[in-house]
A = this chain, B = another copy of it.
Amino acid sequence: MNWCRFQSGATISYGIVEGDAVTVVEGIPWQEHHVTARKLRLSEVKLLVPVIPGTFYCAGVNYRSHVIKMAQKRGAEPKFPEKADIGYRANNALVAHGENIIKPKLAGEEFQYEAELVAVFGKTARNVPKEKALDYVFGWTIGNDVSERHWQRADRTLWRSKNADTFKPMGPWITTGLHPKDMRTIVRLNGQEVENFATGDMIFDAETYIAEVSKYITINPGDVMWLGTDGVPQNMKPGDVCEIDITGIGTLRNPIVAEK
């Protein structure tokens, strides 16, 4: 089932997407809610970021081939993460499916997508075993961990390289009933496939990250965890369109525009 968050007129609500129909839902999908009889056309509503997380977790480096190829590109030895040390991203950077990714004036050429599977939590998780970890995930969405590589190398933190405004597209909706091991992630730049990988090929799978984080931290309903990308991302420039498909979820599509 696909749960979207949308705006219609002045009203923001959740909805269930089936084909071009959105059934209006009152309340929050992973809390008390009521599926109404009201239907709208998907093409007539504005999709929003499917959830504004309380805490925005991101695995960072989490695919072996990404580590190897990115190291080759830099002429360096690949260095794999030894533990599931989670990182963070910032809510200011979130934009929805269809919204513009704005390339800042000060950004350089190496302005790149990173296609990521995103877990959206539906239950409070603390000290959960790996075997039960996915029970706490309400559903899955798609994230584009847009990155400016010069800033990533130049700065002490990832603040502007990964958290500048519009650098975190997330959507189009949250899909329930899926398992990461069955998915493929495909990236298209201007309609041309530039990446295609098994979503489940993670160094540390979602279960490991959730179990590990929950040893120290209470994961709350509405929190999200982005799970890393594979391959070697290419540069994006104003005028481009970046699309990320994850099988079973759908497509996150965002045009790139220049900052005015």
Contact = CB atoms under 8 A, between A and B. Distances in A.
Interface string A204-240: 0000000001011111100100000000000000000
A85 interface: yes
A165 B217 contact: yes
B85 A157 contact: yes
Contacts of A215: 106
A54 B165 CA distance: 14
Given A55-B90, A88-B90, A90-B88, A83 B165 contact: no
B216 A165 contact: yes
A218 B160 CA distance: 11
A103 B104 CA distance: 42
A104 B216 CA distance: 7
Interface string A184-220: 0000000000000000000000000000010111111
A126 B104 CA distance: 13
A155 interface: yes
Interface residues of A, number: 35
A159 B85 contact: yes
Nearest to A53: B91
Given A81-B156, A83-B155, A157-B60, A217 B88 contact: no
Nearest to A155: B85
A218 B88 contact: no
15 contacts: A54-B91, A55-B90, A55-B92, A85-B157, A86-B159, A87-B157, A88-B88, A88-B159, A90-B217, A92-B218, A92-B219, A92-B223, A106-B215, A160-B216, A164-B216
Interface of A: 52, 54-55, 60, 81-83, 85-93, 104, 106, 126, 155-157, 159-160, 163-165, 213, 215-220, 223
